[in-house]
Amino acid sequence: MADVGGIAAERLRSFIDRIERLEEEKAALAADIREVFGEAKASGFDTKVMRQVLKLRKLDQQDRQEQEHLLDLYLRALEMG
């Protein structure tokens, strides 16, 4: 069954198999990440703040500074900072 309705069945099967393996790896990595957060929490770290730090580290310096500036501006406008 090489071609069905113009679709190369073996090529399609190859893509599907690769995606399924990657999805399994992704699930395993997600479990590992949850475990590390669990260890951090057990050590007394605030995992919500850690997630914020991770998010900020993904930004370049200019974007991070812009977000920090806007947060400060919003907090001052709400008389919270």
pLDDT digits (tens, 9 = 90+) for 8-60: 888 999 999 999 999 999 999 999 999 999 999 999 999 999 999 999 999 99
pTM of this structure: 0.73
Residue 69 amino acid letter:
H
Show the tokens assigned to 9. Answer: 């069945």
Say yes or no to pLDDT of 3 above 90.
no
Are 81 and 75 in contact by the 8 Å Cβ rule? The answer is: yes
Say yes or no to pLDDT of 1 above 70.
no
